[in-house]
Amino acid sequence: MLTEKDQIRMADLGRSLELILRQEEQLKKGPQTLNTLEVAVVGDGIHQLSSKNQEIALRNFQQQNSSHSWQKFVPASGAASRMFSDLYQYWNEKRKPHFNFKQFLDYPENKDFKKFIINLKRFPFYANIHGYLFDHAGLFDLEGDSFFDAFIDVLLNENHLAYSHLPKGLITFFSDEKGNAFTPFEAHLEEALNIAPKNQKIKLHFTIDKEHRKTFETLAELYLNSKQATLEISYSYQHPLTDTPVLDLQNKWVRDEQEQLLFRKGGHGALLENLNQMNTNFVWLKNIDNIQWGELNNTTIQWMQILGGITLQIQKEIFKHLKDLDNQKQNIDYSPIVNFIHEHFDKTFELQSEGKPPHEKLKDYLHRPLRVCGMIKNEGKAGGGPFWVHSKRGRHLQIIEGVELDSKSADYHSLIQNTTHFNPVLMVCAITDVNGEKFALHEFSDDQRYMITHKTIGPKKIKALEWPGLWNGGMAHWNTFFVEVPKQTFHPVKKITDLLGD
């Protein structure tokens, strides 16, 4: 129960008491699982492009109107700590009595740690760590197996380089043939320089933690100076008011050491507000760690341009139909518009229904943000899946995470087994309307698709609330078009050995 002191503090912080109480209720009852779903597959929701159509899309992108503005939106505040989980596991085990290094390496569950040790010199950050060790040789035992301890100490320890405390965007992910090292942040800058349409520049926007902004800015300046290039780069932070409250497993408020209500970051869905602030026509949305260096990234760049070209073409047709609906209203032949919806969004769409007049129903269907999303054949990779959802609007495409499905449902295993593709978070978002005005993106989200995660704080188990995922419930009511893209466009780094590319 909230005390009077809690309520006064919430008011001082600008927090809505009504929202906090609603979030408390959400944590108590849990989210509604999604039902009446169908898997989206090639031929029914996912489009495979022929070589000819790929060329057309690329040409659309390269020859587009120069008045269009483009921006990359890259969530980049995620800490790198989970990348180093295998090293933390080793760090904890080695403190136990009678620990044996060679036996630890031979345990099957430690295969990733063993891979890390065997390939130590292949990691892009090896030279930096090695140099640090020998510059501070008096602090470390570098003989035999102790060298590995020292190496890991420098990686993890806050008193040394503490890579695990940095955001992923600032970790060394790549090195070139000359031994120069680069971060994914720099790789995104390089991608932006190479992806722009002819005679245009694109802008970049990174969502980061405020404490790291100076480091990002300095790195950007150094990199762009080395390339004798310029880019317009902006940054934003997850707004503190999007942090969400926490309950324990008895549904009691969790408090901090000062007995004040504890709030945690509300997941990537909180970034919908940041995306809503973008002043541009088109946005590429892509995660910070899904990037490659140099020529290895060329396939991704090509497909980002293809997705951009498709978006331009679909939006052009949408705008034409909306103008026709405004100019001619009831005197229009609706069949070309219905055929367009069948071809691009829902082949089962029916215009005849009770309620709104046909021209209003069609206008409502088309007048909303548009996204064109890459989908990759599922070969065991994690990622939200493409599904058809049934609602009052009809049958429309969604990206749904596994946790949003009812695992007790009779259809659950069938849905999972029949899912053929996953979402790599590679999409183009068209966020302005036919009049060039920005859409209010919150109007097209589904507030009921929040998520609950279970965490521990010290010994206490807690329930934390996350906003509807940015590309999940956050875009639930957008018009959506899925395109199959090659697996070469997906190279995330979830654990440290992913850097080896094996």
- pLDDT higher than 70, residue 485: yes
- The predicted structure's pLDDT at residue 353: 64
Structure tokens at 175: 């090195």
Q: Is 115 exposed, middle or buried (0-12, 13-18, 19+ CB in 10 A)?
A: middle
Q: How far is CA 310 from CA 59, 61, 344, 373, 501, in A?
A: 10, 8, 11, 10, 30
Burial 275-314, CB ≥16 within 10 A → b, else e: beebebbbbbbbbbbbbbbeeebeebbbbbbbbbbbbbbb
Place of tokens 């040394």: 160
| Number of alpha carbons in the 13 Å side-chain half-sphere of residue 57 | 21
Give the residue extent of every domain in the chain.
Answer: 4-79+241-495, 81-165
- The predicted structure's pLDDT at residue 382: 61
- What CATH topology corresponds to 4-79+241-495? Spore Coat Polysaccharide Biosynthesis Protein SpsA; Chain A (3.90.550)
Average pLDDT for residues 323-342, to the nearest whole number?
90
- pLDDT higher than 80, residue 334: yes
Q: How far is CA 340 from CA 319, 334, 349, 350, in A?
A: 12, 10, 10, 12
| Packed helices 358-366 and 335-344: angle between N→C axes, nearest 10 degrees | 30
- The predicted structure's pLDDT at residue 186: 98
Average pLDDT for residues 422-444, to the nearest whole number?
97
Residue 89: φ, ψ to 5°: -60, -45
- The predicted structure's pLDDT at residue 322: 97
Q: How confident is the model at residue 81 (pLDDT cuts 50, 70, 90)?
A: confident
What would the pLDDT profile of 125-148 be if each residue is shown by its tens digit? 999 999 999 999 888 888 888 899
Sign of CA dihedral 251, 252, 257, 262: positive
Contacts of 273 by beta carbon, 8 Å cutoff, 6+ apart: 239, 242, 442
Among 81, 295, 298, 293, smallest CA distance to 174 is for 293
Average pLDDT for residues 348-364, to the nearest whole number?
86
Structure tokens at 402: 């596994």
- The predicted structure's pLDDT at residue 143: 86
Place of tokens 């548009």: 370
Question: Residue 233 pairs with which residues in a beta bridge?
Answer: 204
Q: How confident is the model at residue 220 (pLDDT cuts 50, 70, 90)?
A: very high
CA distance 466 to 268: 8
Q: Decide: 280 and 203 in contact? Cβ < 8 Å.
A: yes
Among 375, 372, 286, smallest CA distance to 76 is for 286
- pLDDT higher than 80, residue 384: no
Average pLDDT for residues 467-483, to the nearest whole number?
97
Q: How many CB atoms lie within 10 A of CB 328?
A: 11
What secondary structure does DSSP assign to 95-110, as a single string? Answer: TSTT--HHHHHHSGGG
- pLDDT higher than 80, residue 330: no
- Provide the whole-model pTM: 0.94
- The predicted structure's pLDDT at residue 383: 64
What secondary structure does DSSP assign to 148-214, as a single string? Answer: HHHHHHHHH-TTTT-GGGSBGGGS--EE-TT--EE-HHHHHHHHHHHHSPTT---EEEEE--GGGHH
- pLDDT higher than 70, residue 380: no
What would the pLDDT profile of 269-325 be if each residue is shown by its tens digit? 999 999 999 999 999 999 999 999 999 999 999 999 999 999 999 999 999 999 999
- The predicted structure's pLDDT at residue 381: 64
Place of tokens 């600032």: 170
- The predicted structure's pLDDT at residue 65: 86
Least confident of 188-197, 346-355, 398-407, 415-424: 346-355
- The predicted structure's pLDDT at residue 426: 98
Radius of gyration of the chain (CA): 25
Among 247, 382, 298, 258, smallest CA distance to 9 is for 258
- pLDDT higher than 80, residue 355: no
